[in-house]
Chains A and B, each alone.
Chain A
Amino acid sequence: MDEKKYAKLEQGMSPKTPLVRNMVFAFLTGGTICLIGQFISLFYMSFFDFTERTASNPTVATMIFIAMLLTGFGLYKKIGQFGGAGSAVPITGFSNAVVSAAIEHKSEGYVLGVGGNMFKLAGSVILFGVFSAFAVALIKTILVKLGVVSW
């Protein structure tokens, strides 16, 4: 049996990804997390001296804190299995990636284990975020200097 024939047979027999179900659950989970974020941001705007724009910083930090607790108590992986991208895409998923790697590698010590591995999942997000920000800002700056576009 060759590879192509087997791939066909395998795809015919393995359980299909429940795409619609996954999308609905991702929508509900992600939407709920963002809704919670909106409530937190309202809280910071009403009780502290934050504007609509600046409230996003403490909101993000608070959500990261909540995700840390959920990860530590073993609940975030359950949300992840249910919600898929709905729990991976919000900033709480970033927090889950950092926290889960950090507690996983505690047994190798705080320096080599926690320090060395904390960003093993989330690091690529920072790398590509920074690089694309650099590229985009650079192109825009050059275009502005050339007078093609304005800020």
Chain B
Amino acid sequence: MVRKGLLTFKTMPSIATTGVTAGPLEKQSPFSDQFDKIYDDERCDTKTNEHAHAKMMEDACMIALSKVDANPSDADYLLIGDLVNQMTPSNFSATTLAIPYIGMFSACATSISTTIMAALLTEMGMSKYAVAGASSQHNAVERQFRYPIEYGAQKPETAQWTVTAAGVAVVTPQKKGTPSITCATIGTAVDLGMTDPLNMGAAMAPAAADTLYRHLKGHQTKESDYDCIMTGDLGKSGFEIYKKLAGNKGIQITENFRDAGAEFYGDDPLFLAGASGAGCSASVYFSEVIGKMMKGEYQRVLLIATGALLSPLSFQQKDTIPCIAHAVELTMK
């Protein structure tokens, strides 16, 4: 059956392993003990922020592949993305890894859009090891989207801190004892006229609520079927709006609703509304969530990554911020 944006994976491809790397500031994240590697230097001992960005992604891929005793030469596809212009960090790491590569951009929703594509390739029987993921590096992203790092602009309480982290998943054909991908929903771009780049949570919340609603309705599931419904990086203020919007659509809001961005830096008020960036959802989904599934704490989860599809140029030309949210459902059966 063909349905708009709704995908069902009959072969149930697995997330066999994951790899997560993060910067030094991310040590204080409550999830940090689940990260595979934390660098002591924010530039990962390379010369530029952009090189560090690429290195984090490379290392995450190598770590993930090594856990299934595979080399980059064994991998069939590399589907990764980031937020820097023309995605050079992902491109450079693809050069080093030499895996057949397509760069994918869905802003901070890239972690899920790449996972969906990897699952599709696997479902079609065309891939044994597909590496999917996303990364962001605070300095490299911030300088592009906002101000120079050392510029003393006052940020409002709704502002989020771009994380320095990379997270990848190795998607393989169904494998026992690992979380498998059962279905997914491709989001539609939603724009409700928000213009403030320091309040991305409010811009992304409608997209997240829309995708959640479409997923539940389209796949005929209920919110109570999931042990966890985790959004990507709505942040503390955006998360509240999203829950309100979902509630308005008749969805029951429970304790199982979580947001990676709101939780990433704990309750530290210095980080204002929490974390954002392509690496935020990727690193939390592929450490915390997958970890909890492997331990049996979660049986069935819904991951909704959200992305704000703006550029500094579109902001300066006074355009509004279109947003996207993609969802993927994982189960431990």
A touching B, CB within 8 angstroms? yes
Please report A residues at the B interface, Cβ cutoff 8 Å: 1-3, 6-7, 9-10, 13-15, 17, 22, 71-72, 74, 76-81, 83-85, 87-88, 93, 96-97, 99-101, 103-105, 107, 121
Taken together as a complex, chains A and B put the C-alpha atoms of A39 and B326 apart, in Å, by: 58
Q: In the complex, are the beta carbons of B154 and A1 less than 8 A apart?
A: no
Q: In the complex, are the beta carbons of B47 and A107 less than 8 A apart?
A: yes
Give A117 Cβ to nearest chain B Cβ, in Å.
9
Contacts of B199 in A (CB 8 A): 14
Q: Which residue of A lies closest to B48 (CB)?
A: A107
Known: A6-B192, A10-B241, A107-B47. A15 touches B158 (CB 8 A): yes
Please report B residues at the A interface, Cβ cutoff 8 Å: 47-50, 143, 147-158, 192-194, 199, 202, 206, 237, 240-241, 244-245
Taken together as a complex, chains A and B put the C-alpha atoms of A99 and B50 apart, in Å, by: 21
Contacts of B153 in A (CB 8 A): 77, 80, 88
Contacts of A2 in B (CB 8 A): 192
Q: Main secondary structure on chain B at its contact with chain A?
A: loop
Q: In the complex, are the beta carbons of A84 and B154 less than 8 A apart?
A: yes
User: Which residue of B149, B192, B202, B245 contacts A100 across the interface (Cβ within 8 Å)?
Assistant: B149
Known: A17-B156, A104-B143. A80 touches B193 (CB 8 A): no
Contacts of A81 in B (CB 8 A): 152, 154-155
Contacts of A105 in B (CB 8 A): 148
Q: In the complex, are the beta carbons of B192 and A1 less than 8 A apart?
A: yes
Q: In the complex, are the beta carbons of B148 and A15 less than 8 A apart?
A: no
Q: In the complex, are the beta carbons of B150 and A100 less than 8 A apart?
A: yes
Contacts of B50 in A (CB 8 A): 107
Q: Which residue of A lies closest to B199 (CB)?
A: A14
Contacts beyond the supplied A88-B153, A105-B148: 15 A-B pairs with Cβ under 8 Å: A2-B192, A7-B192, A7-B193, A7-B194, A10-B241, A13-B202, A14-B199, A74-B150, A80-B151, A80-B154, A84-B154, A85-B154, A96-B150, A104-B148, A107-B49
Taken together as a complex, chains A and B put the C-alpha atoms of A78 and B150 apart, in Å, by: 9
Contacts of A3 in B (CB 8 A): 192-193
Taken together as a complex, chains A and B put the C-alpha atoms of A53 and B157 apart, in Å, by: 42
Give A93 Cβ to nearest chain B Cβ, in Å.
7
Q: In the complex, are the beta carbons of B152 and A13 less than 8 A apart?
A: no
Contacts of B150 in A (CB 8 A): 71-72, 74, 76-77, 96, 99-100, 103-104
